[in-house]
């Protein structure tokens, strides 16, 4: 007799963002995952817009029962920056979603994280961070006892061999709030990082998007419109056939770890050197005695990932 495996419970911390939106939809379409909540943070666009985007996505997917908690409106110690030049004024360029009726709960994101992690048994909740880590850093600062309760943190962030995408050395999420990333990476939480080193391998080429367009569903149409809008920036910047699919790889790693590979190593975040602010300093070859604190993913079977992504999106009709 087969034993039924309970779905993995996750909380998605996010700043939607077109690629955040695809990650959220992939999670909602996957029975292996139970999305307990979505927490929002300022990043790609300001907090009020990221929160509105999260609510609109839940309505699109017919999942209004998933609660949304708004979080930090600015980084811990530096001025906020955003990325409308990449994602459009709303952060969801190409989505054309209506104004949502769903609203965020009254409690803030960091408080919700602390309350849930203290209440649930250790190892019950996996956190998926798709934006700056400000909410989790606030939670850990006020309640360091929650760190051992987290089953795993899976985050899109960092860059090493690819260089930065917002400065020559820094990836956007870590640059927006480097002090938060430093706090989180020092907290002793089992962590998987999906940096630009792997997301730049998952390009949304016309060939890979064609099957999603072929679904002829509202979700499929929206995903193609969003990725088509986002790719204009990366086509001009990198000369690629399309844009990179960054954040959905976090959910992909949770669902299909067989498609990915990487190595355990030490990752530190630079917060003092102006030219390198937000840089992820990755000890790939263990040239220091600093202990490993992350699984650094640097390879994905991109074609297989897009095939499985398409199959899951087809479930959201």
Indicate which residues carry an active-site annotation. Answer: 246
Q: Which two tokens stand for residue 23?
A: 């990650």
DSSP string across 189-220: --EEEE-HHHHTT-B--HHHHHHHHTT-SHHH
End-to-end CA distance of the chain: 32
Q: What ranges make up the beta strands (E) of 103-259?
A: 125-129, 150-156, 191-194
Q: CA 219 → CA 123, 216, 255, 311, distances in Å?
A: 32, 8, 20, 12
Of 231, 232, 229, 209, the closest CA to residue 220 belongs to 209
Q: How far apart are CA 33 and CA 304, in angstroms?
A: 20
Q: How far apart are CA 229 and CA 240, in angstroms?
A: 14
């Amino acid at each position: 007799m087969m034993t039924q495996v309970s779905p993995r419970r996750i909380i998605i911390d996010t700043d939607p963002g077109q690629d955040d939106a695809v990650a959220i939809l992939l999670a909602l379409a996957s029975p292996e995952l139970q999305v307990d909540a979505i927490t929002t943070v300022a990043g790609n666009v300001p907090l009020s817009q990221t929160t509105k985007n999260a609510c609109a996505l839940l309505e699109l997917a017919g999942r209004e029962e998933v609660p949304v908690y708004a979080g930090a409106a600015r980084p811990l110690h530096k001025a906020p920056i955003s990325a409308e030049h990449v994602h459009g004024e709303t952060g969801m360029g190409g989505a054309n979603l209506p104004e949502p009726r769903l609203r965020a709960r009254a409690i803030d994101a960091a408080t919700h994280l602390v309350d849930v992690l203290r209440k649930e048994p250790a190892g019950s909740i996996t956190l998926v961070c798709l934006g700056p880590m400000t909410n989790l850093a606030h939670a850990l600062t006020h309640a360091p006892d929650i760190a051992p309760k987290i089953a795993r943190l899976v985050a899109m962030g960092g860059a090493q061999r690819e260089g930065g995408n917002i400065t020559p050395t820094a990836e956007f999420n870590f640059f927006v709030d480097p002090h938060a990333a430093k706090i989180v990476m020092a907290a002793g939480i089992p962590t998987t990082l999906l940096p630009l080193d792997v997301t730049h391998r998952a390009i949304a080429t016309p060939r890979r998007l064609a099957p999603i367009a072929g679904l002829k569903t509202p979700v499929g149409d929206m995903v193609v419109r969003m990725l088509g809008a986002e790719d204009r920036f990366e086509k001009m910047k990198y000369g690629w056939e399309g844009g990179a699919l960054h954040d959905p790889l976090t959910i992909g790693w949770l669902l299909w770890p067989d498609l990915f590979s990487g190595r355990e190593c030490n990752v530190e975040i630079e917060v003092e050197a102006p030219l390198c602010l937000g840089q992820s300093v990755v000890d790939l070859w263990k040239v220091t005695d600093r202990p490993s604190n992350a699984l650094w993913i640097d390879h994905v079977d991109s074609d297989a990932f897009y095939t499985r992504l398409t199959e899951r999106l087809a479930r959201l009709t």
